[in-house]
Structure 1
Amino acid sequence: MIYQLDFWKMMGLGITFILSSNAIFLFYYFISKIYHSKEFKSEIFPFYGITLLFLFGGISYIFANVFDFFRWQYDITVLIYYRFHFIFYVLSVASCIFVYENLIKKTKYLLTIYMIGVLIINFFIVTYEALNLFSNFTFGFALLILLILQYVVFVRPTSGILKHRMYITLVGLMIVGFGSVFRNPFINEAFSHYFFSMGTLLINVGVLLMGFGFSAFSTFTDLNWKEKLHQIFIVTKDGLPVYAYSFDVNQTITDSELLAAGLSSIRIFLSEVLKTKDDLQIIEYKNLNVILELKDNIVFILVIKEKSSFLQYKLEQFSKKFSEFFKDLLKNWNGDMELFYPTKTLIRNIFELDK
């Protein structure tokens, strides 16, 4: 028998399709980050877990959509579609848990093994009602674990903008949880499929927030981004030194030989940089990475030990604050570097060296 779908059922199917598309887009985005990473180190290994989280999640909701279509349109419960939805959803959650366990290195992957156990148990459940009930208990517990791990692994140890982005990911996880509750068949059959549509919309929002949060990382060593800092130089377009600071010893570089050595390296590629119209550039030099920010007549040069998109943001933030603070002084500067001594405090604040 063919049934006519009501508005909210059709809306729910459409939003679920968008959800699958968003998840697969995020999979493509994060797999691209891996592909464009020149060195496949252990630090980017967790990105594989992130990519699989979105890939398996997207596939899961494709099967869920097909299952719901047949159930609503033809009143047929095709268990195999729901089982595939369950399997890929478990794989998605397991991938996310794996990321946390890989970074925390204290749980011996017991939670990932637990999710594999859940996957095996599902094959012994032979009815849709039983499998749906099992999934409710399983994913309710898994969501609680994910929220705790997100806070412990990402929120608590970070600071500044990274902490904000990790809070966004945490909120995204919560929203996915609320949306999943609204999608529950028991609620929809008891009340209205309006909740199904709204729940799916919430999951969409939550998934996008998670993707936005995790995109703050270039590699997961950004959790320890301060360890990547090496030196920062502020020079004029002509190569005249304005200020220099060493993060390794946490002090201003005043030694003339050390300053000359650093500037001689910088001048090798500074002239090439100034020929371009880009205000922000990243250059690999020997075993270091150099981020350059051009603002007015001043070049800000951050030398780091490993590439980091988060430190690009930090340099942009610092260059803006520096230019605002010394705006009047720079107009009539006579070459006296001591006038920029307050820069040390600015560096320590922007790069959170006192935290």
Structure 2
Amino acid sequence: MQLNIFELTSIYLYITLAACAFYLAIMFFQKINRTRGSGVDLGPIFGLGFFVLFFGIVYVCWGYMHYFGYEYDFHPLPLYKTGILMTYFALIGVVFFSEKIIGKTKFAFTFFSIGCCVYGIFFTFTEFDLRLFTYITNPITVAFILISFLYFLKVKTTGEIRKQMFSAFLCYIGFLIFFLLDIEGIKALLPFPMEISSIISSIGVIITLVYLGTIFLRFETFTEFGWKDKLRELYIIAPNGTTLFHYSFIRDERNQDLDLISSGLTGVEGILGELIQSKKKLKIVDHQDIKIIFEYGEYTTIALITYENLRIYLPKLTSLRVKFEKLFQDVLKDWSGRIEVFRPANHLVNEFFG
């Protein structure tokens, strides 16, 4: 039987989709290789790489399976079973990614997905059994991933990261819709030939998958979702080394000599500047598990002490410095030494870091 143009196109699109997935997998695993040894949690990146790798294998299986279906009018059970089980492996990657970021589920859904995969391998013997088992269990996993995205949007993210996660959420919804268009039961309900549905599905999945992968590849580290948990202390320092304002993000705050600390921070900045003979000011001090990020203004220097250097902190520090110097401009020009006048800065810190 000779394949028609639509059948041939759908098979080529399966191959294209698999190639896109494998390319994204390579990108994620290269990111892991580049980041290894930096102290960044690589688990979420590995989960995404695991997902796109096995998702690509799914479409390799489906491409062959549809070829047999178009050419010989039958679906080899081993090929069908492999494709479904690879879908479970792909879902394990996304669920692991979600649970790593949430951090409160003790990987319960990851173990659930692994259990489903094991059951599918050893306890389903016909295409009908595997299809029925998949239709029962997969919606649970997909719903968990959907709820995870909503949790990221509501609790874990703010500002620019929230915008990116909202785009990822919309992409995920589109991805699900297009993916479902290639399910046999759904294709049978549509008013056009099944191969047309496969073509529309593949094009939509390619677009949403690539865009989704691009969004997540932009993140330097997925600990940015919990950037508030990485904050320790913030100092706003006068040119003479006096602490104008101090804010602690940790509860176990101890009595400290704030002026001694701020003088030490500015002293480190000055000494290192002299040693390296650079005209550029020091921006970051990396002391293993503690990072100090500096932001310089006309009247002040801000030092943010964190447990990790995240890209999200830099624009926040700049905005805080600009607003602080604007709010206290008249005081800073002729400062008399009274630090209580800067107490309203608490509201500024809460605005940018709260």
| 1:220 positional shift | 5.0
Further displaced range: 69-78 or 328-337: 328-337
Q: How does 1:159-238 map to 2 (within 5 A)?
A: 159-161=157-159, 162-188=161-187, 191-192=192-193, 193-208=195-210, 210-211=212-213, 214-215=216-217, 218-232=220-234
| 1:275 positional shift | 4.0
- Residue type matched to 1:263 in 2? T
3-state secondary structure, aligned to 1:112: helix
Further displaced range: 109-118 or 293-302: 293-302
Q: How does 1:124-139 map to 2 (within 5 A)?
A: 124-128=123-127, 131-139=130-138
TM-score, normalised relative to structure 2: 0.74
| 1:259 positional shift | 1.7
- Percent identity reads 18
Q: 1:176 to 1:222 in 2, by over 3 A?
A: same
Flag structure 1 segments of 5+ consecutive residues without an equivalent: none
Q: 1:69 to 1:223 in 2, by over 3 A?
A: same
Q: How does 1:132-147 map to 2 (within 5 A)?
A: 132-147=131-146
- Residue type matched to 1:259 in 2? S
Query: Is 1:261 the counterpart of 2:264 in the alignment?
Result: yes
Contact 2:32 2:42 in 1 (8 A): yes
Flag structure 2 segments of 5+ consecutive residues without an equivalent: none
Query: Is 1:247 the counterpart of 2:248 in the alignment?
Result: yes
Distance 1:259 1:73 in 2: 76
Instruction: Determine which of 86, 89, 97 is the counterpart of 1:88.
Output: 86
Contact 2:237 2:262 in 1 (8 A): no
Distance 2:293 2:219 in 1: 16
When the two chains are superposed, the root-mean-square deviation of aligned CA atoms in Å is: 4.2
3-state secondary structure, aligned to 1:157: helix
| 1:92 positional shift | 1.0
Q: How does 1:1-355 map to 2 (within 5 A)?
A: 1-6=1-6, 9-35=7-33, 36-39=35-38, 43-73=41-71, 75=73, 77-101=75-99, 103-106=102-105, 109=108, 112-122=111-121, 124-128=123-127, 131-152=130-151, 154-161=152-159, 162-188=161-187, 191-192=192-193, 193-208=195-210, 210-211=212-213, 214-215=216-217, 218-232=220-234, 245-248=246-249, 255-270=258-273, 272=276, 275=279, 282-285=284-287, 287-292=289-294, 301-308=303-310, 312-320=311-319, 322-323=321-322, 326=325, 334=333, 336=335, 343-352=345-354
Number of residues of Structure 1 aligned to a counterpart in Structure 2: 341
| 1:269 positional shift | 3.5
Distance 1:115 1:56 in 2: 14
Further displaced range: 180-189 or 203-212: 203-212
Query: Over residues 299-343 of structure 1, what are the superposed CA-to-partner deviations in whole Å (9 max), with x where a residue is unaligned?
Result: 7543312233xxx22321441464377479889974748797765
| 1:349 positional shift | 0.6
Contact 1:5 1:73 in 2 (8 A): no
Q: 1:265 to 1:136 in 2, by over 3 A?
A: same
Distance 1:268 1:302 in 2: 19
